[in-house]
Amino acid sequence: MHRLPEQGVGWAELEQQMQAAKAKDVDWVNGRAAVYIHYAGDDVLEVAKKAYQMFFSENGLGLRAFHSLAKFESEVVGMGLSLLNGGNAGRGAMTTGGTESIFLAVKAARDWARQARPVTGTPEILLARTAHPAFDKAAHFLGLHTVRVPVGADFTADVEAMRGAVTPQTVMVVGSAPAYPHGVVDPIAALAALATEKNLWMHVDACVGGYIAPFAKKLGAPIADFDFAVSGVTSISADLHKYGYTAKGASTLFFRDADAFGFMAYDFDNWPRGRYLTNTLVGTRPGGAIAAAWAVMNYLGEAGYLRVTERILATRRAHEEGLRKLGLTIWGRPELGILAYGSETHDIRAIGERLASKGWLVGYLTEPMGIHLMLNLTHEPVVDAYLADVAWAIRTADKPITTAHAATY
């Protein structure tokens, strides 16, 4: 068992040990990881790090003490709401990530339903098969069930099938913009219409798309309205630590109005230390993540986000074109930074294993079998290298791997 050292270790030694520990990590800086990382340039990273460090010790639980963080959070929420057509009635808060935002959206929907449309038995969340597992996790913790419905041939939510799955217990409908597996946006307007018709809470999971889709739309990408511009949408989750390019530990959860927002909070005062009222699941919140979000959003501004988005979309298109030329199939019609591809002639796992042997971190899709990529600016300079390795992997897919370094991730 690893034990606390008896005597403290100096920073120089610790730094060395940590550098050594990093040595076997995936080389994300050189674009080898199309997951986990959202990079928009060294300058953006520097701003995020400096801002994080300035507010490293401050705690977002104590907004009465840290007026700075209260201002940052309020302005971040304002910027997010304005990007997502929130209007003056819109409300929201920062959370520590997509899972927390989704957890709180489910909690809000559950509490709303208890008040506005109580059901007998376990309340249900209706969602497409491609929605993120965070909904199941939240449902598990909060005493709801999820009902996952198969998607259509284009991998987006099948609204008619979802209509058929509505039961007297259904309280919430979810659409993703985009869903993580294929990177395609669900038909949000049709789902919201279904929600309105059946008096259900409609949540849009824009954890991945919230801070890239608005800019892609402005750049002319044919993305249908997916935010509060669609009537019937009650809440939206949008992660800053993904395509907002801020420090990890930052997401936003938005509500159409103050009434819906009211269901997010938890209010308690039956203990000796007075009232404990929090909007979030967590208590202590990293001041650094709140500050870094504010700093990065202001540093990039609309022009900066447009520039980065344009480059990421071009990088995705370059992958699509190159992969198609190699005879591979792109699953669905990806619209943002995610794409997934498979092969009708080759074993995609064999291709993936070869890519892994060259140092690429490979993420697999299982329905249909494929390889998943979530792209950022680290991938821009390595498109050709990636495609060359895919071409090599296809050529050698039937032979045993001979490369010295086997996959370690």
Binding site for ligand PLP (CB under 6 A): 97-99, 102, 132, 134, 176, 180, 205, 207-208, 239
Question: What angle, 0 to 180 degrees and rounded to 10, lies between the N-to-C axes of helices 383-395 and 287-325?
Answer: 50
Q: Are 257 and 90 in contact (CB under 8 A)?
A: yes
Separation between Cα atoms, residue 11 and residue 34, nearest integer Å: 32
User: Shortest distance, CB of residue 187 to ligand PLP, whole angstroms?
Assistant: 16
Closest CB 351 distance from ligand PLP, rounded Å:
23
Shortest distance (Å) from residue 319 CB to ligand PLP: 18
Q: Which CB sits closer to ligand PLP, 80 or 97? A: 97
User: What residues have CB less than 8 Å from 111, skipping those under 6 apart?
Assistant: 263
User: Which pair of structure tokens corresponds to residue 262?
Assistant: 């009211």
The widest CA-to-CA distance across the chain, in whole angstroms, is: 69
Q: What is the DSSP secondary structure assignment for residue 29, as one 8-state letter?
A: G
Q: Which is nearer to ligand PLP, 37 or 393 (CB)?
A: 37
Both tokens assigned to 326:
């190699």
Residue number with the smallest Cβ distance to ligand PLP: 98
- Please state the closest distance from residue 154 (CB atom) to ligand PLP, in A: 17
CA-nearest of 99, 75, 61, 116 to 234 is 116
**Nearer Cβ to ligand PLP, position 241 or 354?**
241
Residues 6 or more apart whose CB falls under 8 angstroms from that of 91 comprise 77, 81, 254, 255, 257, 258, 260, 261
Q: Which is nearer to ligand PLP, 37 or 351 (by Cβ)?
A: 37
> Judged by CB, which is closer to ligand PLP: 36, or 276?
36
If the CB atoms of residues 251 and 343 are measured against ligand PLP, the closer one turns out to be: 251
- Nearer to ligand PLP by Cβ, of 227 and 239: the residue is 239
The least CB distance from residue 251 to ligand PLP, in Å, is: 6
Q: Is the peptide bond before 214 cis (omega within 30 degrees of 0)?
A: no
Query: Shortest approach of ligand PLP to residue 239 CB, angstroms?
Result: 5
Is the Cβ of residue 354 or residue 372 nearer to ligand PLP in the bound state?
Answer: 372
Q: Which is nearer to ligand PLP, 326 or 365 (CB)?
A: 365
Contact 211, 359 (CB under 8 A): no
Instruction: List C-alpha distances in Å: 151 to 163, 181, 187, 288, 332.
Output: 13, 12, 11, 39, 11
Shortest Å distance, C-beta 241 to ligand PLP: 6
Q: Is the bond into 178 cis (omega within 30 degrees of 0)?
A: yes
Write 80-85 long-range contacts (CB < 8 A, 24+): 80/210, 80/211, 80/238, 80/240, 80/252, 80/254, 81/228, 81/254, 83/210, 83/211, 83/214, 84/206, 84/210, 84/214, 84/227, 84/228, 84/236, 84/238, 84/254, 85/225, 85/227, 85/228, 85/229
Q: Cβ of residue 236: shortest distance to ligand PLP, in angstroms?
A: 11
CB of 102 to ligand PLP, least distance (A): 6
Tokens of 59: 């705690």
